[in-house]
């Protein structure tokens, strides 16, 4: 009799645990659906971390970059950064060349978010970049391949201001040859004046799909 009573108590306890878990799951689903149906202000609770300074305004409309909970696509990145990538030396065309297939195995350079990761700890360079990013393919440069780089550290390629992954024309052989007779630094260093002329009286909607460069899907 006692054994049967113990079994009944065990079954009731199991049912109670399942009921609690089931109720919690239903509550979370309802909360998630309700939150997604609300505006972007409520959706910011899903942010895993701080948004970079250049993208902070997009928090007003998550769909400017995201499609549901999918990762940001290259196409969405290009809506804003297409002009910056016109001189891209590490673009898709380079890595689709069979000669660089081995490097592509080390780093998925065809996907923007491989290197640029939003909403995580920043390193003072806009969207998150690992300081030693270049070492995925260029470790040998600081390990004896180039004597000019002896003693350099793995985290100094772009953090020191020497290299730009997407545009390294300034350190190309042609650039150096054309400027051999130039001084290493300008006689007077000055920050160029930047003049910004507003073309809109009111700010556009934060939805890039409908406002930036004529929209597009």
Per-residue pLDDT reduced to its tens digit, 186-215: 677 777 777 777 676 776 666 666 655 555
Closest C-alpha among 123, 112, 191, 108 to residue 155: 123
Asked whether the whole model's pTM tops 0.85, one would answer no
Region 64-92: what's the mean pLDDT? 83
- Token pair 């969405």 is found at 76
Rounded Cα gap, residues 131 and 158, in angstroms: 7
Higher-pLDDT residue of 202, 96 = 96
The pLDDT, as a whole number, for residue 209 is 61
Per-residue pLDDT reduced to its tens digit, 136-185: 889 999 999 888 888 898 988 877 778 888 887 766 666 667 777 877 77
**By percentage, how much of the chain surpasses pLDDT 70?**
69
Torsion 205-210-211-212 (CA) sign: positive
Rounded Cα gap, residues 78 and 82, in angstroms: 5
Helical H segments across the chain, by residue range? 2-37, 40-43, 74-81, 92-95, 101-106, 135-138, 173-178, 208-211
Closest C-alpha among 160, 157, 130, 129 to residue 141: 157
Closest C-alpha among 165, 161, 157 to residue 88: 165
């Amino acid at each position: 009799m006692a054994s049967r009573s113990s079994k009944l108590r065990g079954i009731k306890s199991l049912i109670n645990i399942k009921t609690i878990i089931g109720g919690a799951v239903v509550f979370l689903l309802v909360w998630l659906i309700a939150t997604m149906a609300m505006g972007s202000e409520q959706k910011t609770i899903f942010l895993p971390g701080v948004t970079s300074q250049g993208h902070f305004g997009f928090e007003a409309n998550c769909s400017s970059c995201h499609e549901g909970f999918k990762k940001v696509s290259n196409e969405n990145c290009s809506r804003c950064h297409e002009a910056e990538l016109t001189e891209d030396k590490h673009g898709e065309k380079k890595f689709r060349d069979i000669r660089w297939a081995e490097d592509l195995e080390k780093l998925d350079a065809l996907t923007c978010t491989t290197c640029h990761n939003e909403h995580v700890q920043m390193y003072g360079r806009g969207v998150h970049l690992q300081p030693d990013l270049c070492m995925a393919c260029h470790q040998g440069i600081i390990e004896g391949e180039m004597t000019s780089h002896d003693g350099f550290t793995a985290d100094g390629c772009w953090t020191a201001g020497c290299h730009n992954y997407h545009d390294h024309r300034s350190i190309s052989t042609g650039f150096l040859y054309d400027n051999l007779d130039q001084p290493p630094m300008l006689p007077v260093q000055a920050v160029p004046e930047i003049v910004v002329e507003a073309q809109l009286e009111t700010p556009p909607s934060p939805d890039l799909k409908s406002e930036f460069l004529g929209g597009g899907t």
